[in-house]
Amino acid sequence: MSEKWESMAARELLAAAIAAFHPRIALSTAFGVEGVVIVDILMRIEPRARIFTVDTGRLPPETYALIDAVRARYGCTIDVFFPMAQAVEAMVGNHGVNLFYASVERRKQCCAVRKVEPLGRALAGLQAWITGLRRDQAVTRRDVAKVQVDRDHGGILKLNPLADWSTEDVWRYVRAHDVPYNALHDQGYPSIGCAPCTRAVRPGEDLRAGRWWWEAPESKECGLHLPTAREASS
């Protein structure tokens, strides 16, 4: 079964997943370029496909502009999940609004409150979810399989249809289909997260060097996508 999933092209995998799980499957996207590519493919397969995003409250304005552009382009519904206000207030009250600069522990605490907890609510009741993870994005993602069992969220399937795509593959698709994308990509931001935790990359740096740039590469995950061995469904 592992070889079967790995051999599927992105559209083939998404079409099979939508046929098997819709409406209990959803794309989770922070509206990086991989996410909008998957939106475009999904809308060609099933215009009612579910899409959601987590709004941390610290996103750059360019991301909000893109969300509006995607809604307008595809006529799709995008569900938005926010962190719990009480949890944010307590965290900021105890540690300050920019606690993530203090240590990896504090940064992960912020990600847990602003990202991980809302994601858990977004995935409730789903049988599968879709992400834009690719193996060449970071050292923490080199072993990403196209289909994994997500044991952190009740054993649902986690689909990574672009896992074997290169950066060139992604942008080739964008140009071929005139897919809208975040304006920050043209300003040296290959990976875009919260505004205070993202910077443009320098020549020769890897794709996610601008995310939490003050940390070592092996710690650069927020908790939404923890490194796992390749594990396909059976």
CATH number assigned to the domain covering 2-219: 3.40.50.620
Q: Which residues contact 186 (CB under 8 A, 6 or more apart)?
A: none
Q: What dihedral angle (degrees, nearest 10) is formed by the CA atoms of 7, 36, 171, 233?
A: -20
Give catalytic status of residue 110 as yes or no: no
Give the separation between CA 222 and CA 115, rounded to whole angstroms: 8
The per-residue pLDDT for range 146-169, each reduced to its tens digit, is 999 999 999 999 999 999 999 999
Task: Give the active site residue among 110, 194, 197, 222.
Answer: 222
| Residue 226 confidence (pLDDT) | 52
> In this structure, what are the phi and psi dihedrals at residue 147, rounded to the nearest 5 degrees?
-135, 130
Give the separation between CA 101 and CA 87, rounded to whole angstroms: 19
> How does residue 103 score in pLDDT terms, banded at 50, 70 and 90?
very high
The per-residue pLDDT for range 4-35, each reduced to its tens digit, is 778 899 999 999 999 999 999 999 999 999 99
Say how many residues make up the chain: 234
| Residue 56 confidence (pLDDT) | 97
Hey, what amino acid is at 19? Answer: A
